[in-house]
Amino acid sequence: MSIRYGIIGTGMMGCEHIRNLAAMDDVDIVAVADPNEEPRDWALKSCGDRFSPRIHEDYRDLLDDDGVDALVVASPNYTHIDVMRDVFKTDKHVMLEKPMCTTLADALELDRLTASHKGIVWIGLEYRYMPTTSALLHHLPAIGEVKMCAIQEHRFPFLKKVGDWNRFNRNTGGTLVEKCCHFFDLMNLVVPGKPVRALASGAQSVNHLDEIYNGEVPDIIDNAYVIVEYDSGARAMLDLCMFAEGSKYEQMISVTGDAGKLETTVPGNELFISKRERDSGHAVPIIMDSRVKHEGFHHGSSFLEHREFIEAIREGSGPAVTTKDGLMSVLVGLAAQQSIETGQAVNIDSLLEQHSDK
């Protein structure tokens, strides 16, 4: 039986989900919702001849639809908590786009509400499903106990979004939440222990300074260095630059353990594995997962994410990417944002305790 999807939010990512689902033969998109006419038109174009969904302006009309089994929530970041509060009044399965929420209070509330929800709540941190990162996770045992992880992303500026909502921290949670929660999620997967301290330096140096929206200049940072320390004694680092369109590699990742090192890029076609001896390294070719029928924006990762989500629905198992994962990725990003604002290292446990008591 086909899994019947409803899509909430049909901007860039909502339509990307539609295109991935259109490459599958065991799903149907039966309803879409967006308050804006243009994104609704984008959704219909993405559906093509494959789907004929009912169209809604108000997502709550979609939630009342008994013909919808599973939801994709791809509305703007700041709307996630309100949408999910309404989703929790249903039993529907849901894939919630990253970041899970824009504030720690909202992320904690969402995580708490998930515990009593009958449907699966899956957080869309698809970065872990990309071919090179998936290979890196598979080969982690080859390098012993991980001590360091370094991720560099040198890329293009933020894209335009409907209503320009992604130009302001209050709507996104800040660049280190909106964009970089993927990277903090990977760090949390790779590095042993839990993150305990974040130290960051960053600024808005180049991008969006000549833009004005309703009298306001955007306040999102476009470059940063972030160090995350873990209670295991290991540490991770992010090097972010969003005015480096001409970079040879958009992303570079290295993970170093007490027995060796893994190195790769995104996109990329190999994983380099080395031991601690000179000239000990060798490259492992990266082969696209044979299940992928649509590579899309994220090198097939969104397709694989949906296949696993669908499998979990059919088998009645739990999500592979949980609200706890989403919470921790947001938590590290918010701690890093706070470190930039204050110029001080931020104790992550203290930050969590402050909000948990409210």
**Which pLDDT score, from 0 to 100, does residue 354 have?**
82
Listed residue (66, 60, 71, 61) closest to 27, CA to CA: 71
- The 10s digit of each residue's pLDDT in 175-234 is 999 999 999 999 999 999 999 999 999 999 999 999 999 999 999 999 999 999 999 999
Report residue 296 as tokens.
């899309």
**Which pLDDT score, from 0 to 100, does residue 357 have?**
55
**Which pLDDT score, from 0 to 100, does residue 273 have?**
98
For residue 76, cis peptide bond before it (omega within 30 degrees of 0) = no
The angle that helices 301-315 and 12-22 make with each other, rounded to 10 degrees, is: 70
- The 10s digit of each residue's pLDDT in 331-352 is 999 999 999 999 999 999 999 8
CA-CA distance, 210 to 224, in Å (whole number)? 20
Query: Would you say how long the chain is, in residues?
Result: 358
Q: What is the mean pLDDT of residues 121-128?
A: 97
- The 10s digit of each residue's pLDDT in 137-171 is 999 999 999 999 999 999 999 999 999 999 999 99
Q: What is the mean pLDDT of residues 95-112?
A: 97
**Which pLDDT score, from 0 to 100, does residue 356 have?**
67
Decide if 251 contacts 260 (C-beta within 8 A). no
**Which pLDDT score, from 0 to 100, does residue 353 have?**
86
Q: What is the mean pLDDT of residues 31-37?
A: 97
Cβ-Cβ contacts under 8 Å for 269 (sequence gap 6 or more): 285, 286
pTM of the predicted model as reported, rounded to 2 decimal places = 0.96
Decide if 265 contacts 253 (C-beta within 8 A). yes
- The 10s digit of each residue's pLDDT in 67-85 is 999 999 999 999 999 999 9
**Taking phi first (over 0 means left), then psi (-120 to 50 degrees means alpha), and beta for anything else, what does residue 174 get?**
left
**Taking phi first (over 0 means left), then psi (-120 to 50 degrees means alpha), and beta for anything else, what does residue 323 get?**
alpha
Edge-first strand listing for the sheet containing 54-56: 54-56, 27-33, 3-8, 70-73, 93-97, 121-124
Does 355 have pLDDT greater than 90? no
CA trace torsion 82, 87, 90, 93 (10° rounding): -170
End-to-end CA distance of the chain: 44
Decide if 307 contacts 163 (C-beta within 8 A). no
Q: Report the relative pairing of strands 3-8 and 70-73 from DSSP bridges.
A: parallel
Is 192 in a helix, a strand, or coil? Answer: coil
Please give the share of the chain, as a percent, with pLDDT higher than 70. 99
- The 10s digit of each residue's pLDDT in 277-290 is 999 999 999 999 99
For residue 53, cis peptide bond before it (omega within 30 degrees of 0) = no
Domains of the chain: 3-124+302-318 (3.40.50.720), 128-294+328-350 (3.30.360.10)
Helix or strand run (H / E) with residue 265? strand 260-266
